[in-house]
Amino acid sequence: MVGVQTSRPAGGLRLFGIEIRVRVSWLIIALLIAWSLAAGSFPEIYRGLPASSYWTMAILSVLGLAISIILHELAHSLVAHAFGLSIDRITLFLFGGAAELREEPKTARAELSMAVAGPALSLVLSLLLALAAGALDSRGGSAEIVGALGYLATLNLALAVFNMAPAFPMDGGRVLRALIWMGTGDLDRATRIAARLGEGFAVLLILTGLGMALLGAIAGGLWWVLMGLFLRMAARSSVFEAKARRVLKGYAASEVMEAGLKALPGDMTVDDFVDRGLYAGQHGIYPVTINGSAVGVVEAANILATPKGRWGETTLAEICAPMGQAVATERDEDANALLDRMMRDKRNRLLVLDHGKPVGVVTLHALLERLELADPFQRAGIGKP
């Protein structure tokens, strides 16, 4: 699956310059899968083996599954790079994996090529693993390895088939969006149609899961319900992203910022600021000046990091973040890139600079309000193209 990046990259294992991250949820589900295979599935299929053999097969299968998912997402990523798109991270999480884009593909051809790459690689892996399992079995190879390879061949086939379901933002949904985009020339419309179908598929999964639970398969049913809820949320998020890109297209940070930032003198104490300035401000971020020149910015975190007993003797100049380290943007930055950055870095506000001088602030709240107000006018063709 491919998604737009929404959180800050961090250090870790890298392949082809792409960071590989593993969330705790993946580790939990991996342990559950290993236990299920070792205690249930493999003893049923391969009778008469010692318990250690079943656990060996289970561990090999889980490790192979992780590698298979990474290779699936790596295929997406390498094709994306070939089309000039940046993917800094592949994340393994509860429902599999995702290669996270910094931005949407620029053309329908790029979208289609990137979406097909993952399932195609999974199909190739399935075939290769099945051939390897058959070859080892015919030569009297280890039952543990043969069993693990055969199971991984089946899993990769299932991975390819399931991901090709026409449910955006899954791979099949992205293929569908690319085809609609090619036919209409309208990415926004293609996204809305594909995402609505994705929501419908998610509801189908939820209903299937509930039906399974009613028939007694509670654990399996719960899994389908959770998967459906996740896909429904992802589809709705995709619709929001499409709306944001349409509404903010053509705007710069200076056009969506709130001006009139209140600058604070560097010799003001933290005590005075908390008493007189903290709650009077509207934006939660305050430039600090010395002799009329901005030297840094103060936010709530800077204050909370200062022991309360020292507030009366500590000045804002002493606790402010230097301007060079301030989380800020230049006034001519594209508004869409700005929103992506705020969501990716989980920032509620960004300082706007004009050649290093604070001139305003962009808040996530104000951007979301702007999207809500401007969307009906944009749909009607009124407003900035």
Give the closest residue to 340 by CA, choosing from 4, 12, 105, 72: 4
Q: By the 8 A CB rule, do 73 and 101 touch?
A: no
Residue 376: cis peptide before it, omega within 30 degrees of 0 = no
Q: By the 8 A CB rule, do 319 and 224 touch?
A: no
Q: Which is the catalytic residue, given 19, 44, 73, 318?
A: 73
Give the closest residue to 239 by CA, choosing from 175, 163, 182, 173: 173
**What's the rounded Cα separation, in Å, for the pair 115 and 165?**
12
15-21 long-range CB contacts below 8 Å, 24 or more apart? 15/70, 15/74, 16/74, 16/77, 16/78, 16/81, 18/74, 18/77, 18/87, 18/88, 18/89, 18/90, 18/99, 19/88, 19/89, 19/90, 20/70, 20/89, 20/90, 20/92, 21/89, 21/90, 21/91, 21/92
The enclosing H or E element of 34 equals helix 24-36
Alpha carbons within 13 angstroms on the beta-carbon side of residue 6 total 8
HEC secondary structure over 66-106: HHHHHHHHHHHHHHHHHCCCCEEEEEEECCEEEEEECCCCC
Dihedral angle, C-alpha 353, 359, 365, 369, nearest 10 °: -110
- Strand partners of residue 287: 297
- 44 included as an active-site residue: no
The enclosing H or E element of 211 equals helix 187-214
The enclosing H or E element of 361 equals strand 357-363
- Token pair, residue 10, equals 């961090």
Catalytic residue annotation: 73
